[in-house]
Structure 1
Amino acid sequence: MPRSRFSGVLSTPRVDVIIDMGNPFLNLSLDGFLKIGTVGALRVAAEESYDCVRAGSISTHKAEHTLKKMCKEGAYWGTVAGVYVGMEYGVERIRDKRDWKNALIGGAITGALISAASNNNKDKVMVDAITGGAIATAAKFLNYLT
C-alpha cells in the first residue's frame, strides 16, 4: 500500500520525500521524477521572475503562461530523471554490481529512449544515447570526488 512521508532539515540542502510504492524500482523512479521535476519547474519560475522584474510588470496572461511552462518543464525534467534512475537501478540489478558502468548504461538507454520518443532520426538517437551515457558517467565520477 502506498505511503508517503516528508522530512527535511533547514541546515542542509537535502530534502527527502519518501513515497513507498511497494517496489524499489518504482520508489526510486518516482523519487527522481519528483526531485528533478521540481528543479525543472523552479528553474522556469526563476527565469520567468527575472523576465518580469526586467520588464517591470506582470500580467495574468504572463502568470498563466509561466505556470503552464513550469508544469511542462517540470514534467519533462522529471520524466527524464525518473527514466534514468529506473534504468540505472535495473542495470544494477541485472549486473549485480554497483559501479560507474551502471550510470553509463542507464544514461545511454535513457538518452536513446527520450530521443526516440521525440524524433525518428536514427543518427540523432545514437548521438543522444552517447550524450546521455557521457553525462551520467561524468555525474557519477563527480559524486566520487565529494
Structure 2
Amino acid sequence: MDPSELRYLEDNDTPTMKTIKGATSGLAAGTIWGTVVATWYDVPRVERNVALPGLVRTLKVMGYYGLTFAAIGGVYIGVEQMVQKYRMKRDFVNGAVGGFVAGATVLGFKGKSISTALSAGAALAVTSSLIDFGGQTTRIDVGKEYYPYKTEKRPSTS
C-alpha cells in the first residue's frame, strides 16, 4: 500500500476516539492542577531526611485531581457525542446535556448529595452552553490540507 494512502485509514474523529482524547486531556489538566493544589495547601514541607511522606501525599493529590478531571472530560465528551448522534444535530444543546451529566454524575458522586449533583450539573451545562453559543473555538478550518511528509519522490542515487 502506498504510504500516502495510510492517512485515510486513520480515523481520529470517531466518538470513541474523541472520548479517549477528552479523558486524556482531563487527566493531564487535572494532574497539573493537582500539583498546584498540593504545593499550595495539602502537602507539608519536605524535611531534610523524611522526603517520602511528602512525595506520597503530593502524588495522591495529583492522582485525585487527575482522575476527577479525566472522568469529567470522558463523560462530557462521551455523552455529547451520544446526544449528537441521537439528535442528528450539532449545536449547544449537546454540550449542555454532556456538561449536566458530567457534573451531576462525577461531582455529585464525590459530593454525595442530590443538591451538589444538580448544582454541579447546572454549572457545567451553563458553562458549556455559553462557550458553544458564543462560538468559542480553538481551531478555524481554512480548508488547507497539510501533509506531514513530502509527496514527491526522491531522485534515485544509482
Q: Scaled by the length of structure 1, what TM-score is found?
A: 0.69
- What is aligned with 1:133? 125
Equivalence map 1:47-66=2 (5 Å): 47-49=37-39, 59-66=51-58
* Cα distance in structure 2, aligned partners of 1:143 and 1:81: 20
- What is aligned with 1:83? 75
* Cα distance in structure 1, aligned partners of 2:40 and 2:14: 39
Provide structure 1 residue ranges, at least 5 long, that are not aligned to the other structure. 1-19
Report the AA paired with residue 45 of structure 1. T
* Cα distance in structure 2, aligned partners of 1:67 and 1:122: 30
* Cα distance in structure 1, aligned partners of 2:89 and 2:114: 31
Q: Is the aligned partner of 1:32 residue 2:29?
A: no
Give, in angstroms, the shift of residue 139 of structure 1.
2.8
Q: Which has the higher strand share?
A: 1
Report the AA paired with residue 38 of structure 1. A
Q: 1:42 aligns with which of 10, 18, 32?
A: 32
* Cα distance in structure 2, aligned partners of 1:50 and 1:118: 22
Q: 1:97 aligns with which of 82, 89, 94?
A: 89
Provide structure 2 residue ranges, at least 5 long, that are not aligned to the other structure. 1-9, 139-158
Give, in angstroms, the shift of residue 94 of structure 1.
0.8
Report the AA paired with residue 37 of structure 1. L
* Cα distance in structure 2, aligned partners of 1:120 and 1:47: 22
Larger Rg: 2
* Cα distance in structure 2, aligned partners of 1:37 and 1:136: 19
CA 1:60 to 1:143, structure 2 compared with 1: closer, same or farther past 3 Å?
farther
| 1:106-146 deviation line (CA, Å, top 9, x unaligned) | 11222222245335533333323222211211232455377
- What is aligned with 1:12? none
- What is aligned with 1:122? 114
| 1:33-92 deviation line (CA, Å, top 9, x unaligned) | 1112111101222343467xxx58672211111112111210111111100011111111
Report the AA paired with residue 113 of structure 1. T
Whether the 8 Å contact between 2:104 and 2:121 is mirrored in structure 1 is yes
Calculate percent identity across the aligned residue pairs: 19
* Cα distance in structure 1, aligned partners of 2:39 and 2:108: 33
Matched residue count: 126
